[in-house]
Each structure stands twice: as C-alpha cells, then as structure tokens.
Chains A and B, each alone.
Chain A
Amino acid sequence: MILRPRLEDVKAIGYYLGRIILALGLAMLVPIIIGMSAGEINPIFDFLIGAEISLVFGLILIKLCFVEKDLSWMQGMIVVSLSWLVAMLLGAIPLYLSGHWKSYLDACFDSMSGFATTGLVLAQDLDHLSYAHNFWRHLIMFLGGQGIVIVAISFFVRGASGAFRMYVGEARDERILPNVISTSRFIWLVSAVYFVLGTLSLSIVAMLNGIKPFNALFHGACIFMTAFDTGGFSPQSQSILYYHSLPFEIVTIVIMILGALNFRLHYHLWAGNRREIFKNIETRTFFATVLIIFGVVAFGLMQVGSYPKAALLFRKGFYQLISGHSGTGFMTIYAAQFANEWSQIALVGMICAMALGGAVCSTTGAIKMLRIGIVFKALKEDLKRIIMPERAVIIEKFHHIKETFVEDKIARSALLITLAYLGLYFLGTIVGMLFGHSFANALFESTSAAANVGLSCGITGVNMPAALKFTYIFQMWAGRLEFMSVFVLIGFIVAAIKGKK
C-alpha cells in the first residue's frame, strides 16, 4: 500500500528548498559585481531581477514551511532533485532577460546544461554577450560541479544528518572527512586553491597569447571554472579553438584531468600519500581506458585521413578524447567536423569515452571509473570461478583508498547504475532518431547530454524540436544526480496522487 505524503514531509522539503534558493539568489550578486566592474547597466538589472525573484521565493518557502526537524532520507533526496529543477528555472531568468536566448525554454536548457556541467549551448550571438551574463554561465557550472546542495550545506544548512542525506542525493556518497559539512568545506578548499592556481596559469598563457589583461583574467577564471568542474562552457562561441594556442590546450588538459579525479584522492595527495594515485582503481582504470580508446580514435582518424600528420592527429584526437572522457566538452574542432570528417569508428571511441566518465566524488558525470573497475573485477572473478577448480577460493579485491573485497552487493550496485546510464543513453538516442537523426549522431548527442559532457556533433541547436530539448534537459538532470533522487521524486509524486491517507 502506498501512503500519501504527510504535510510535514512537504513542509520539510519546502523549508530546505527555500534555503537552497536563498543561496542561489545570493550567488546572483557575483555577476552583478562583474557587471559593475565592466561598466554594464542592463545586465545588472537582469541579475537584480533574478536575485530578487529568488530571494522572494526562498523567503516565502522558509516562512510557510518553517520546521525544526532534520530531513529524512526521502525528504533529503526530494530536496536535491527539486533544487536542481528550481535552480534551472531561476538561473535561466537573467539569461533569458539578456535577449541572447530565443525562448525561456532555451535559457532553461542552457541553465540546466550549466548546473549539470554539461556544456551544450543554445545561446545566440555568444560573442556579444555581456561580461556579467558570461560570468554567470561559468559560475553556474562551477556551482553545479561542486554541487548546488554542497554550496548550501557548506554555508546555509544546519543539522549534519540532514546535510548528509542531501549530500548523498547529489551523487556523492563518499565522506572525505568524518563530518559531511567538513567534507563540503574541504571540497571548497580544494577548488579554491586550484581556482587561484588555474586562473593565474590560464591568464598568464592568455596574456602571452596576445589577449588584453582584463580579458585574459576573465577568460582565465571562466575557463578554469568550466575545466575544473568538467563543464565545457567557454566565453566565446568557438570554445577552445578561439585561442589557437597549444599551451592553452595543455593547461586545460591538466585542469580537466584534475577535475576528473576523486576529491578523496585529492585529499590523500594533499596529505602526502602520493602512491595512492598509482594504486587507486579509478586512476588505473582511467589511464587504461584513455590508452585503449585513444588507440580506437587514432585508428579511426587514420582510416579516413582526417589529419595529414601524426602530430596533428594526436593534438586534435587526444584533446577531444580527454575533453569527452573527463566529461568537459571543450572543443578544438567544429561540431560539424565530428560528423563530416571523423570516421564512424573514431566517433564510437568518443561515445565510449563520454559514456565512461571520470571518478566518483568528482565533478564529472557518466558511469564513472570506480563502477567500471568494479564491474570488470566482478567479471574477472566470475570467469576465474568457471576456469578454476570448484574447491578453489577466489577473491577479487580493488584498491580505492583502502583495499576492498568485490562483494556481490558492491558489484550489483555498480552494475545497476551502469545499466541505468545505458538506458538513459538509449532513451535520448531513440528520441533523436524519431526526429530523423542517424543512429550514430543521435547516440553521440544523447550520450553527451546524459553523461554531462557537452560535445556536439551538430544536433544541438536553436532550431532543435522542443521535445528533444526537454529530453536532453531530463537526461542532463537525471545523469548528473545519478538517478536515485530522481526516482525518489517520481515515487513521491506517484504517492501524492495514488497514495492513501
């Protein structure tokens, strides 16, 4: 029997949602400062309107739903899934007001693409966008990559157990430090240190490449935020191709890889445990998959002679591969070149890279290395059981901070999430094919959306049918949250409709 949710469930959800919305409203003050420093007028109004609507909405929710109880698991999950939808709707307000998005749906698409660190773009005339709006696009990617709820947990949420439930709901089930609030703050510390170092490096490279100091600093900060949070937005319409610079590409590759690593691994590296990087199942799997898939991509590119020299093939192929594998989505080629100049086998390689993703508890999307590693180990264990004598005791272990046995429960959980991702990739592919796209292109774009990558082979565009936009929005949302909180929200809605009092 399904029970209808109680009023106190709704109130608890509303109260915490209100606090998260307040945090979002306050975040909109940052682009106002950027706009003021660049001497922009109307963009500041756009953000004031967005911030005011958010603050009013947040305050009303807090007032109407005031509770003193901590969140239950179900409530925490629903707060997370709803926060991302509300963040999309509110974050899209200043974007839409700028006039660079054709419709509010397009602004919502880019807002979700930003928060979910995807990087697919529907903005029009990006090269004339204000500094304030451009910074907001990158900032939402940074906030989304860190986790909207992490932002709120770090500064606005009291009650450690409720905070932990929301933390888990946001697809982060690893506690780096004993307390989840300390963990969130550690994630911010790591990001802040890398932010300073990364922004400085990129700004210096940009200045040496002939970009004016203010622009160099702006581009440095924006590109850092979207590279480290494996998002993929860039201030100009050409993505990284705009810079025509090998040093810039190298620095972004380093930042993308750092973003694709587990924050727990960062913690151990910072604590001086450098051997962990060589022993960890995630880094080993990442290294292996990069090598194998690069072989496939390189073979595919050589097959059709896409690049006349090996050095060019390496530069273009490796960059798109790391960008896809880390879930970033930066491009140094045009979207149409994927479809026109890359062979089918190279595209298959890219689709695999995008589908796999980076580490768990990082800013990447997709299936992720830990799960791939565990599934592989479980398969190896089963094969050994068949081959070895029946009496043989077969044990498989993996190293992820500590040695862990591959138990059925762990393998089952990894396999279930893997299957859910595969299902999500195919859902978007079918919808894409219904709108007349080829299987390869539809699969490429769908995987890119669901794995929160942002590479495009040209399907994503302002003239894309609304149904496809909704599909990709759903994929970006469900893919970023890793399903559980989305399923709980769906269950909650079903219970509210069909449940008994």
Chain B
Amino acid sequence: MMMRSQVTCHTSQVKVKGLVLFLTCVLCLATGDLFAQSISSLELINNAKLYEGKVVTFEGEAIGDVMARGEYAWLNVNDGQNAIGIWMGKELAGEVSFTGSYKSRGDWLEITGIFNRACLEHGGDLDIHAQAIRKVRPGRDVVEKLNTGKRNMVFILLGVLCAVWILKRLKLK
C-alpha cells in the first residue's frame, strides 16, 4: 500500500515537473516571440520611457545617407510613420546596399538593438544601437516613367503662354 502510494506520488511529481517544463517552454517561446516582433516607430516614440534600455526589434526602410563615423555609422530607418536613427558598427552598415530616395527604394531592414529614449552617448537623441541587422527585402532602383499627361499639359500651356505673349506684344505696339 505504502509502495503503491509512493509510486503514485512519484508519477504525479513527474507530471507536475513535466507541466512546469512545458509551461516554461511555452513562456520562453512566447517571450522570444515578443522580442522578435517588431515595434512600430509610433509605439517607440509615444512610449519611449517603457522601452528605454530594452532590446527591441524595429523594421523599416533605410533612407537618406549611410553616415560613416569612424568605426561606426548612422543610418536612418523609416517604417512609414517616422524615421529613427540607428547607430551601428561599420560592418553592419556595409550590408546596406540601397537607401530610399526619389530614385530608389531602400533596403527593408529588421534591426534588433538597444532602444534609447535620450541616448547618453549621442546628445540625448532617441535612437537604437543596433546589435543585429537582417535584410528583409532588398532595395532597388526606381525607373522613372514618363508621365505623358504632364508632358502634354506642358505643351498645351506653352501654346497658351505664347499666344498670350504675342497678344500682349501686339497690344503694346
């Protein structure tokens, strides 16, 4: 009887341990997912104090210039709402091939790094110090298509302008 109850107790202990292990795994996975999920610029800026000093993941398009500063570089990344400055090592910056401008779509990057509401190293800027960068989508050059409607409008208005100019000259003479 005693033996039986000990066996039952041992089985239930194993079950509890298994449950604890399972829950821990679920929690770890859930937490892992939470960190991997990218946070929008709006969320970061509006709740800057909440994320201060934490590792965050931010996604967006590289825009403007990659500004090399010694062994590091600044890159501004825009997620469609705001652009945030990313401070990164030169080797990470080297992975960026396209930056957004009128003539190009920048690389779409996923940045994981430490978020600073008022960075001590960079004069109080709100920035992210990148630890890892992943290129989600490569950028590309944008080929500008000729807008024929605008071109035609230019010629029509040019005609009108010439006509008005001639009329004005005639009147003056």
**Is there an interface contact between B76 and A56, defined as CB atoms closer than 8 Å?**
no
**Is there an interface contact between A307 and B66, defined as CB atoms closer than 8 Å?**
no
Distance between Cα atoms of A315 and B101 in the complex (Å):
30
Contacts A42-B144, A244-B125 given: A237-B154 contact, CB under 8 Å? no
Contacts of B76 in A (CB 8 A): 236, 238, 242
Q: Is A272 an interface residue (CB 8 A)?
A: no
Number of interface residues of B (CB under 8 A): 48
Contacts of B165 in A (CB 8 A): 59
Contacts of A316 in B (CB 8 A): 118, 123-124
Q: Which of B57-108 contact A (CB under 8 A)?
A: 63-69, 73-74, 76, 78, 82-83, 85, 87, 100-103
Q: Is A129 an interface residue (CB 8 A)?
A: yes
From B64, B102, B120, B164, A236 is in contact (CB under 8 Å) with: B64
**Is there an interface contact between A337 and B48, defined as CB atoms closer than 8 Å?**
yes
Number of interface residues of A (CB under 8 A): 53
**Is there an interface contact between B83 and A242, defined as CB atoms closer than 8 Å?**
yes
Distance between Cα atoms of A316 and B158 in the complex (Å):
50
**Is there an interface contact between B123 and A337, defined as CB atoms closer than 8 Å?**
no
Q: Is B146 an interface residue (CB 8 A)?
A: yes
**Is there an interface contact between A334 and B147, defined as CB atoms closer than 8 Å?**
no
**Is there an interface contact between A63 and B171, defined as CB atoms closer than 8 Å?**
yes
* Chain A residue with Cβ nearest B170: A63
Contacts A45-B150, A52-B154 given: A210-B168 contact, CB under 8 Å? no
Overall SS of chain A's interface: helix
Q: Is A410 an interface residue (CB 8 A)?
A: no
> 9 additional contacts, CB 8 Å, given A129-B102, A236-B63, A244-B125?
A62-B168, A127-B63, A210-B65, A210-B73, A237-B83, A242-B83, A309-B120, A337-B48, A340-B48
B residues with a Cβ closer than 8 A to A are 45-46, 48-49, 63-69, 73-74, 76, 78, 82-83, 85, 87, 100-103, 117-118, 120, 122-127, 144, 146-147, 150-151, 153-154, 157-158, 160-161, 164-165, 167-168, 171
A-B contact pairs, 9 of them (CB 8 A): A42-B150, A45-B150, A48-B157, A62-B168, A127-B83, A128-B102, A209-B69, A211-B65, A212-B65
